[in-house]
Amino acid sequence: MAALAQLLYGHGANILDSDQHTDAGASMFFQRIHFDLDGLRTDPVSLERAIAEVAERFEMNWRVAYGAKRKRMAIFVSKYDHCLYDLLLRHRAGELQCEIPFIVSNHPDLEPVARQFGVDFHLHPITPDDKAEQEKAELERLAAGHIDLVVLARYMQILSGDFIGHYPGRIINIHHSFLPAFQGGKPYHQARERGVKLIGATAHYATTDLDEGPIIEQDVVRTSHRDTVADLVRKGRDIERTALGRAVRWHLDDRVLVYHNKTVVFE
């Protein structure tokens, strides 16, 4: 902490806030420093070179993200519109500091929503016979669009390991359950059968292990024995929206650090 603070001061960078966390069990230290460059007396290249020297001395993994460079985010959807609407409204309100070049879907149903917000919509219908071919086309579209983040906003497809491998730690999924409970399909039906008194939603990074990626955010809502599956779905949609919205915003703001299939989220 002292070495980095002294380095930034020496280069004329102004620290706006700093947050730290120590995981004693894993013997790991995490730090996020937010600083501006208005008074920088050198240049960003020299600054990064100096940070690299300190990082080597302390055996640190490090990354510098520049706030002026807005990330480019693609949204993948199927037929459910609640998470898509929420993300687009948050973006329009300025809550999500990013660009949304396009929306990808395996169904045509939500094209009118994309049109309503002036976002390009690309249809990639997927069948068991052409899944690999369609994923290749999607990856080519993401590469051509210089996409930094993929958000699965109730995209009802299981991504292949090859697809996920192109965007490690850069695919956020919303699962309609408080993981690790009720993994897989129809979690609200499972919750109704189990008679739980809380249901939840989980925003996590997608990995090759289905529904087991590093968790970014979770939320819950109380339920009742009177609730039908339809009631649980209605209640769940509210927390799906909020959990996904927060997770996406924190990722875009570079507040999430991943390690050991877990995350540190500097709120």
Total residues found in the chain within this entry = 267
Q: What is the end-to-end Cα distance of the chain in Å, rounded?
A: 19
Active-site residue flag, 238: no
* CB distance 21 to 39 below 8 Å: no
Q: Exactly one of 86, 148, 211, 253 is catalytic; which is it?
A: 211
Rg of the chain over Cα atoms, rounded to whole angstroms, equals 21
Closest CA to 255 of 243, 246, 242, 266: 266
Query: Which residue numbers are catalytic?
Result: 211
